[in-house]
């Protein structure tokens, strides 16, 4: 898969660890910022990654802020985005299988790097159960209209 990743300044230190891990798992990943630990605002990175995923330039995205909350809310404002914030792998896996999430978010103040990697792995390896759940995703699209 070709992934985009973004974070605010709070997620900045965890981001390279996740980038390296995603590459180890055999995926491509591009960093869309932020590129320093200087204080910044999470909505711009949520929006940037979400727009790139929604436009089809990337298959999926990963977002990191302090809690994962603000950056996932921002991403979910973009049509076609289903971003989930997770602090454990079970929800990450089911969010792909049932909800076909296309962005995974987590908080660098909530999860350590090893738990974050576990969450990322479960999410990347999970497959959408289209037959059972496609009509519900369509219902979500109807809400967007």
Residue of 9, 27, 86, 98 marked catalytic:
98
CB 50 within 8 A of CB 90: no
**Applying CB under 6 A, does 101 fall inside the site for ligand RB5?**
no
Q: Is there a catalytic annotation at residue 135?
A: no
Which backbone phi and psi does 30 adopt, to 5 degrees? -120, 135
- Tell me how far, at minimum, the Cβ of 145 lies from ligand RB5, in Å: 27
Three-class DSSP category at 107:
strand
Residue in 3, 5, 10, 85 binding ligand RB5, rule: CB under 6 A: 10
- Tell me how far, at minimum, the Cβ of 72 lies from ligand RB5, in Å: 8
Whole-angstrom distance, CA of residue 112 vs CA of residue 115: 5
> Binders of ligand RB5 among 24-63, rule CB under 6 A?
42
- Tell me how far, at minimum, the Cβ of 42 lies from ligand RB5, in Å: 5
**Applying CB under 6 A, does 67 fall inside the site for ligand RB5?**
yes
Whole-angstrom distance, CA of residue 81 vs CA of residue 49: 10
**Who's near 144: CB < 8 A, 6+ residues apart?**
79, 80
Residue of 9, 27, 65, 133 marked catalytic:
65
């Amino acid at each position: 898969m070709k992934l985009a990743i973004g974070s605010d300044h709070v997620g900045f230190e965890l981001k390279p660890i996740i980038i390296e891990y995603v590459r180890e798992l055999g995926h491509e990943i591009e960093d869309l910022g932020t590129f320093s630990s200087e204080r910044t605002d999470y909505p711009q990175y949520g929006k940037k990654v979400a727009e790139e995923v929604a436009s089809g330039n990337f298959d999926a995205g990963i977002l990191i802020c302090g809690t994962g909350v603000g950056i996932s809310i921002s991403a979910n404002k973009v049509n076609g985005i289903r971003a989930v914030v997770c602090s454990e792998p079970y929800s990450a896996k089911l969010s792909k299988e049932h909800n076909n999430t296309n962005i995974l978010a987590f908080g660098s103040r909530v999860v350590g790097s090893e738990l974050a990697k576990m969450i990322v792995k479960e999410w990347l390896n999970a497959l959408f159960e289209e037959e059972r759940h496609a009509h519900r995703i369509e219902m979500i699209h109807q809400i967007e209209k």
